[in-house]
Structure 1
């Protein structure tokens, strides 16, 4: 086993914890990359790097909106009364492999997601698998750069109507930067090439088939604060207060191809689709030593600032709340359980996400 494996694996788990050097083996001198992860973990930046909760929510909303457009376009279909409510179970597993220079790592994350649509006029159930492989480097204790590849596959069942299958491959880059003792930023961008195959039953014995490229540009950034009890009265003793301001933007590029009826089609609103949100949250997390659970909770507001596909479900403002706990074991493995709910203020949209993640020594 690489002599850096234990602390590196522990710090992968600490992505969702208030990292502390106190959990490192006695007499062990951490290499620069490990110390940087401790520092960025304490700043709350690693949770944003490892989390795909916002990204997954965005993909679910876009998929639901496309399916709703399809249902509403059928002759005689209702043009009002549509809703978007769903739940998802996300199960990622991450491993870090330390490289000989002491400041660089290879990250492997395999995530499986099961999506379950609530009984709506248009109901989607989905299965998603994604693999991220990235090179991480820490040039100093306050900075991380990451670059790598992503590979994904999804199958979505439009209940009672048909299926949509998609395969994708692309590149992802990340940056973490701690500005000072209280603030830092976590940013990412990815460009993915995808192809999708739709097969939708529009009448008994009649199926509409359509294949096209569906490429995606996605970017996200969060400004994250960290205030301890000796810095603010809002944080109880032994807890950390985390204010977060975030934004994301996605643009999809849809190929114009002919469907099985001979019609030339791209997307429901043309060959590009935009979706963007901003959010503000406040959270609390309890500091914990290895082997102890660290509870965490947050609440905030989210607003859609752009949405090409809001014709049938227009509910742009959400309350976002989350509750969870994490633990780093004394052997270096990490466990995170977290529940997040997005509740539309107009009552037309609601999304639940339950995440169970495991980080293990590699």
Structure 2
């Protein structure tokens, strides 16, 4: 049988149809997106070390597997790797300037989109990969947020409190008919009073928490009594139960501390200053310094409270000063809201608008109160 007969008999497999121009364009977009994702993960890995670096490199390798899939589909149409897309370039700039947590929050949202769920050209394993990537990024972002949560909370809340309270104060006295110098004095007084109040509150809060932790820390004198305990009759297990362990676990910990090398058992079980529940000196270190917390709260509030006063400090007066103060404060409120949204993995615009609405509502309420008070006095 010659080749023609062989083909006619169906013995050869027909060549796959050439993809359409629309398919090629879509595959190229997929390929460019996966190449950008791999670059981002490798760039972030360069900013980290240890386990976080290894995890990010693992994500980059997974994205490169996806790159290979689209390159195989495209063949000669794949072309050489092009320039990084503008979104990826923006993320890399954010990573270098604002930190990797901001980029992880953005990537968390990107990875959570069902990109390949209904794409017949992508195997089910790629869609599953993307879902797993979303959880990996979520975990990394959660670790980063946990490390910076205290500082972030104090900074964002301090700035936001300064913005809302001082714009409300300024508009309240403007509604009451105060003159330009009176408005400026009121704004600066509100800045200083609020910042001092925030600093005092934070100082008292942190030091009170440190004192509570210190009161809960085990007594070092009790640790020195461990070698002298009667092995068959002692209350060591009650120490662990008092600190929240179950009866079985407390007995196990007590037996381990009393068996053989007691000094080693003491370190393992936490009979010393750390305590079984991790309280004590280590907990006090996590709380931080009351002075540092007070200073950061003072500065954060002062920065926010200065924004509504800036136009009046610059010499503006009348409706122009009010409009400028409102625009600056509104922009700052939206910025703080967007930052919170980014770091929490939520939609930045929604959080920005929510923050703006809260500030605008407070300012409108005090302005109307000032109008009513001014009319009653007049």
TM-score interval (norm. to shorter)? under 0.3
Q: Which one scores higher on RCO, CA 8 angstroms, separation ≥ 6?
A: 2
TM-score, structure 2 as length reference: 0.21
Higher strand share: 1
Q: Which has the larger radius of gyration?
A: 2
